[in-house]
Structure 1
């Protein structure tokens, strides 16, 4: 049996508590139409936090400060390991980009209703603030395992 090979992606749950609702910044991906937190593939020569900031800037037009790791998510179907971080907005205004047809602030209720469960759980985990980041596996559709 061959050893699995994984790519590493990074994403940010950018939180806006201005209105006290804990809204989060989400994008509608141009390639799939799916709603997700902003993120993408980490470059081989990139530090993790730099990759998170770059992906958020490329997909939303905003600058962020990375605060802390909030979860690790293994897509066993695609061979992707995603590191998700909580972040806060430090500059810029959210705007559609070459990678995102829409960029919006959503409440947790909107996330749970309008996003695939494998991405919604990442936002819920980031807002829950567990003492240790959860480590979850999924098949691209369903969460399979939590450690």
Structure 2
């Protein structure tokens, strides 16, 4: 999750499904976590970034995938559409809340607000509690 000096969040509109998300992807077999973070952001946005800290761990129970979210900041490059992203933008937290799907919005809001590393479960659409029931809408 990349932020700018005004606290806005870097978002991409995926070419495959049109959804707005934060940059991300799958690590190559022999790639370090930090190298993969830098590669994925550059491939999706054209920006060079430097990671700051881990902010969250998110497990998609439907797919069995675990995602790690790091805060990062821009150190070079120019933001723009790529082969993987139809559009790139900088959104406020309010825009993330209203325009992004629940599971991706939670990753952004956790990274912006949390002092500790968030650990969450989801089904690909909704956040889940440890007993696997949906998180009530008013619960962070």
With the length of structure 1 as denominator, give the TM-score of the two structures. Answer: 0.86
Residue equivalent to 2:37: 52
1:120 matched to 2:105? The reply is yes
Using the TM superposition, give the Cα deviation of residue 129 of structure 1 relative to its aligned residue in structure 2, in angstroms.
3.3
Match of 1:26 in 2: 11
Query: What residue is the counterpart of 2:121 in the other structure?
Result: 137
3-state SS, counterpart of residue 25 of structure 2: strand
Structure 1: unaligned runs, 5 residues or longer: 1-12
* Deviation of 1:26 (Å): 0.2
Choose from 31, 35, 38 the match for 2:23: 38
Matched residue of 1:124: which SS?
helix
Match of 1:88 in 2: 73
- Which structure 2 residues correspond to residues 9-24 of structure 1 after superposition, within 5 A? 13-17=1-5, 20=6, 22-24=7-9
CA distance, structure 2, for counterparts of residue 93 and residue 25 of structure 1 = 12
**Among candidates 46, 50, 57, match of residue 61 of structure 1:** 46
Moved over 4 A (4+): none
**1 CA distance for matches of 2:50 and 2:128?**
31
SS in structure 2 of the partner of residue 39 of structure 1: coil
Counterpart CA distance in 1 for 2:107 and 2:113 is 10
More strand, by proportion: 1
Q: Give how far 1:145 is off.
A: 2.5
User: For 1:116 and 1:92, how far apart are their aligned partners in 2?
Assistant: 28
Corresponding residue of 1:79: 64
Equivalent residue pairs, number = 130
Report the 3-state secondary structure (helix = DSSP H, G, I; strand = E; otherwise coil) of the residue aligned with 1:111: helix
